[in-house]
Amino acid sequence: MEGNPSQLKLGSRGANMTDTSKTTDLFGKAQAAAEYIHSKTTLLPTIGIILGSGLGNFATHVKSATRIPYADIPHFPQSTVVGHSGHLVLGNIAGVPVAVMQGRVHAYEGYTMDQVTFPTRVLGLLGCKTLIVTNAAGGIRTNLTQGSIVAISDHINLTGTNAALGPNEPRFSMVPDAGQRFFDMSTAYSLHLRTLAIEEAVRQEFLLTEGVYLAVLGPSFETPAEIRAFRILGADLVGMSTVHEVIVARHMGLEVLGLSLVTNMAAGVPAAGRDTANTINHEEVMETGKLVEKQFTCLLTALIPQIAIEQLIADKIS
Ligand code: HPA
């Protein structure tokens, strides 16, 4: 299955719709990054995947892969966190052209919102119509267990900032009517995509529940009192990433599937069958990633061709 050869032009869709003198050079930087990537491979990805802490190994399953270090891509931010390898991997999963980010950067590393979401902008310009965003998360809902995968149904952004801050850049519109100053977030996480994921998990004989992801800035883990407050707010999961990438993806008009891996129970939440909660550390997060690697890989590998077929059907209808 091939991507859309006119993708870089697609990125210019909004250029006529506004006074571009008011926009930033973020678009130009993202275009330079996309052009550099095009100089390294002819592959035209239709699905972008961001791998969270402990999940980076999925990228080793990409066939006919071109691996580009983030350090080589113009303007790409570098991850400083253990477990985030820092490579963009372009190739095929089950015959579908994908672009996989092996590691991401976070606001707690000191990056600006534009830097945190820059790779997402580039995935859009490369032609990805769907973003699969994954993360490690703490489980707030008491019936979650360490190692379970959860389909994100919605998020609560408590990071205190928003990735769409600053001048609006309508050239980032990848589908008609996207790239607006104000944009809807009521269906940020596609119901259709997470239904596909839940049905696939049933076929693979494990339970994939849905949950609300609450994002904090980090890097400290939360206090038990914060987790109790977040539960009252309606959160099932807590983490330090994802929401800004999803905001930017929705600004561009990409469909989003969000998957959280519960690497630990959140602060003060005892694991099932225990009376007291453990302390939390990054090593535990990484180790849990390794434990569920096979299940996570099987789920994604089965989902990717299903998503690609849905994209083809959507393209035919539009
Ligand atoms: N809190 C915040 N972020 C996380 C956690 C957590 O408990 N686990 C993995 N990422």
**Could you give the domains of the chain?**
22-317 (3.40.50.1580)
Beta bridge partners of 50: 101, 133
Q: Within a 10 A sphere around the Cβ of 178, how many other Cβ atoms? A: 19
**Of 31-45, 124-138, 205-219, 285-299, the least confident:** 285-299
Whether ligand 1 lies within 6 angstroms of the CB of 4 is answered as no
**Parallel, antiparallel, or unpaired: how do β-strands 209-215 and 237-239 relate?**
parallel
255 neighbors 241 (Cβ within 8 angstroms): no
Please give the distance of CA 187 from its chain centroid, rounded to a whole number.
15
Looking at residue 84, its pLDDT comes to: 61
Whether ligand 1 lies within 6 angstroms of the CB of 241 is answered as no
Tokens representing residue 317 in the block: 């209808």
Looking at residue 4, its pLDDT comes to: 40
Looking at residue 313, its pLDDT comes to: 87
Whether ligand 1 lies within 6 angstroms of the CB of 152 is answered as no
Whether ligand 1 lies within 6 angstroms of the CB of 238 is answered as yes
**Atom of ligand 1 at shortest range from CA of 285:** 9
Torsion angle of C-alpha atoms 80, 98, 30, 313, degrees rounded to 10: -140
Residue 2's pLDDT band, with cuts at 50, 70 and 90, is very low
17 pLDDT more than 60: no
Cα distances (Å, whole numbers) of residue 204 to 48, 69, 117: 23, 33, 33
Whether ligand 1 lies within 6 angstroms of the CB of 215 is answered as no
**Atom of ligand 1 at shortest range from CA of 264:** 8
Residue 193 alpha carbon to ligand 1 centre in Å: 24
Nearest CA to ligand 1 atom 2: 239
Residue 292 alpha carbon to ligand 1 centre in Å: 16
Instruction: Quote the percentage of the chain above a pLDDT of 70.
Output: 91
Nearest CA to ligand 1 atom 7: 138
Looking at residue 200, its pLDDT comes to: 97
Contacts of 219 (CB under 8 A, 6+ apart): 106, 108, 240
The model's pTM: 0.90
Residue 24's pLDDT band, with cuts at 50, 70 and 90, is low
Mutate to test the pocket of ligand 1, among 285, 286, 292 (most ligand atoms within 8 A of CB): 285
**Atom of ligand 1 at shortest range from CA of 241:** 3
Residue 54's pLDDT band, with cuts at 50, 70 and 90, is confident
Tokens representing residue 76 in the block: 């790409």
Angle between helices 26-40 and 113-126 (to 10 degrees): 50
CA-closest candidate to residue 129, choices 300, 298, 310, 302: 310
Average pLDDT over residues 212-233: 97
Whether ligand 1 lies within 6 angstroms of the CB of 136 is answered as yes
- Side-chain-side CA neighbours of residue 289 (13 Å): 22
Catalytic residues: 53, 84, 106, 108-109, 136, 240-241, 264, 282
Quick one: three-class SS letters along the chain? CCCCCCHHHHCCHHHHHCCHHHCCCHHHHHHHHHHHHHHHCCCCCCEEEEECCCCHHHHHHCEEEEEEEHHHCCCCCCCCCCCCCCEEEEEEECCEEEEEEECCCCHHHCCCHHHHHHHHHHHHHHCCCEEEEEEEEEECCCCCCCCCEEEEEEEEECCCCCCCCCCCCHHHCCCCCCCCCCCCCCCCCCHHHHHHHHHHHHHCCCCCEEEEEEECCCCCCCCHHHHHHHHHHCCCEEECCCHHHHHHHHHHCCEEEEEEEEEEECCCCCCCCCCCCCCCCHHHHHHHHHHCHHHHHHHHHHHHHHHHHHHHHHHHHC
Average pLDDT over residues 271-296: 79
Q: Give tens-digit pLDDT for 138-165.
A: 999 999 999 999 999 999 999 999 999 9
186 pLDDT more than 50: yes
Does 19 or 275 have the greater pLDDT score? 275
Whether ligand 1 lies within 6 angstroms of the CB of 237 is answered as no
The residue assigned the tokens 């990484």 is: 286
Q: Give tens-digit pLDDT for 71-119.
A: 999 999 987 776 667 999 999 999 999 999 998 999 999 999 999 999 9
